Structure 1
């Protein structure tokens, strides 16, 4: 690897340690000349971020970093690569960056299995009504009352609908199919041969919603997927249906979902919310038919380490002139969340 590469790491120390634990930290140090945030500063502060990029070839970014605006790029004439430790690069890249030749890569592939596993865990919890039992017992319900719950089902043989054959969607599909689920998938970009390879039935969204006991969301947020599930679509779900969202809250109309959940007609497991942090007074927190996690589906040790490994490998490829394996081009953003 050529030592001439100068790399800014725009991550606070805690995030840097999370993505580059030993011995990955040593590999990061060997990636070239590192430029780290001065102690006591937050590299996600716009001014600190701009200063960090002043004389570097590449920048490693994480959640909360500012975008590569024209003014930031004016002060970073050497910058040629943005390597993101997360999945979505939309908040960080700009047309100005692409126009000035800044290439972009991301580590979203690292998170697919972790998110797929959590979506599976949430699916199993909903099917067996674990959330309802837990809520009842913690609320002090009598034993007999705590046992009262809607019908429970096994995953084996259950019709499961997957909205979006993304990386996380495919990981989830493999896991639930291994446990015997009958999977249907709605994704306009999924071809029949690809569906056959995944072992799923390709279907339209309305048909999927009407016919599945479990619906798990794995689509990106794009102009045509914002509010994909509104009041009309949610009403198509059968009574006692189960909704899992580990993707993005914007895929679902929040008010319509809350109304369905307050009616008790369906159950849901949610890892993403319109307001984050979720306010302590939010009505979702008090519903017995809702299982909540604080946007942590991808937060495993293995997932973070894989993300660091992907970034290091991409820095090495970039330095040596090899093709990037996880590059995001400007046209690709149209299909990415």
Structure 2
């Protein structure tokens, strides 16, 4: 569209992950692409305001400053924020919605990658790979290293999925394909949807009590914050496994640490209250915990899909077509 300016408010490192040269070229077919000056920090509101001075669209990434009233005042033409990730909460403000700036995001691109890592973590926990690895790396003798708790198979296991989100549905599809029975706890999942997914809908307490593996895929909302605390963890059967690739805020970390310290359950965690995870954090020393550094969505394929979604959404918007991944204020309040 002639005269349209598309500002890419992302560092060179973030741009390289989501928008390769072909992606930038595709974006340029919809308008003039403006990049930040070399060395500029788009986390600085002053830098962002200058970048958006006559921009119609802003593409955001990790570290972009939010659309505050001050930034918006400097960007009178801005009409769309297209985020390369899933959660737009760090960038969108009440002022931006009030100004009529529409919002879209690329969370759909990440669902399969997160579901696949959650599957990988599930299999590792079931087969006690984390315990074997910890034992051998810490120098114990061979016989002691082999003395892990009983290992189990995914086929025939009952797996509880908390949250039928994009990632939750990707994960439950994968574990069902490998023979697991799946329970789901999600207040927004209807009986008809559960039947279509081939899962049993139940409440959280029943799911925890019946599941060998529990995988968390819920958004962070007032009603889900710290939804897994000491009482909920106590409902898990001995030897149960907890996987969290969603958000740390879903779990009371102190209660989880106390439960893990008993050795009664094992866990695989990709998200933490403190990130980066401190080098002296007690989770790092526990043999029954498998840790990854908040990277479950970070596949090459996932990030390229995200870039493709952003490019397509910008093109739709500028053509006047409906957006496929729009985030409205009401939807933002429901999904976190």
Specify the TM-score bucket, using the shorter chain as the normaliser. over 0.9
**Partner residue, 2:303:** 304
Q: Which moved more, 1:242-251 or 1:256-265?
A: 256-265
Q: Which moved more, 1:11-20 or 1:22-31?
A: 22-31
**Partner residue, 1:218:** 217
Report SS of the residue matched to 2:36: coil
Cα distance between partner residues in 1 of 2:41 and 2:28: 20
Asked if the contact 1:128–1:154 (Cα under 8 Å) also holds between the matched residues in 2, the reply is yes
Report SS of the residue matched to 1:44: coil
Cα distance between partner residues in 2 of 1:294 and 1:202: 31
Asked if the contact 2:79–2:101 (Cα under 8 Å) also holds between the matched residues in 1, the reply is yes
Asked if the contact 1:7–1:35 (Cα under 8 Å) also holds between the matched residues in 2, the reply is yes
Alignment of 1:129-278 (within 5 A): 129-278=128-277
Cα distance between partner residues in 1 of 2:162 and 2:198: 15
Q: Which moved more, 1:51-60 or 1:16-25?
A: 16-25
Cα distance between partner residues in 1 of 2:23 and 2:311: 8
| Residue 25 of structure 1, CA deviation | 2.6
Report SS of the residue matched to 1:309: helix
* TM-score, with structure 2 as normaliser: 0.99
Cα distance between partner residues in 1 of 2:2 and 2:20: 21
Asked if the contact 1:20–1:28 (Cα under 8 Å) also holds between the matched residues in 2, the reply is no
Asked if the contact 1:8–1:52 (Cα under 8 Å) also holds between the matched residues in 2, the reply is yes
Q: How many residue pairs end up in the alignment?
A: 336
Report SS of the residue matched to 2:6: strand
**Partner residue, 2:57:** 58
Cα distance between partner residues in 2 of 1:212 and 1:130: 20
Cα distance between partner residues in 1 of 2:281 and 2:28: 44
**Partner residue, 1:280:** 279
| Residue 307 of structure 1, CA deviation | 0.3
| Residue 262 of structure 1, CA deviation | 1.1
Cα distance between partner residues in 2 of 1:153 and 1:268: 15
Report SS of the residue matched to 2:271: coil
Cα distance between partner residues in 1 of 2:157 and 2:48: 49
Asked if the contact 1:11–1:43 (Cα under 8 Å) also holds between the matched residues in 2, the reply is yes
**Partner residue, 1:115:** 114
Cα distance between partner residues in 1 of 2:254 and 2:332: 28
| Residue 104 of structure 1, CA deviation | 0.1
Report SS of the residue matched to 1:23: helix
1:196-225: CA deviations, max 9, x gaps?
Answer: 011100000000000000000000000111
Cα distance between partner residues in 2 of 1:3 and 1:309: 22
Report SS of the residue matched to 2:95: helix
Cα distance between partner residues in 2 of 1:225 and 1:234: 15
Asked if the contact 1:61–1:83 (Cα under 8 Å) also holds between the matched residues in 2, the reply is yes
1:79-106: CA deviations, max 9, x gaps?
Answer: 1000000001112111111111000000
Asked if the contact 1:6–1:58 (Cα under 8 Å) also holds between the matched residues in 2, the reply is yes
**Partner residue, 2:22:** 23
Cα distance between partner residues in 2 of 1:133 and 1:181: 24
Report SS of the residue matched to 1:65: coil
Extract unaligned runs of 5+ from structure 2. Answer: none
Report SS of the residue matched to 1:172: helix
| Residue 291 of structure 1, CA deviation | 0.2
| 2:69 matches 1:70 | yes
Report SS of the residue matched to 2:234: helix
1:8-40: CA deviations, max 9, x gaps?
Answer: 101101111110124223212333111110001
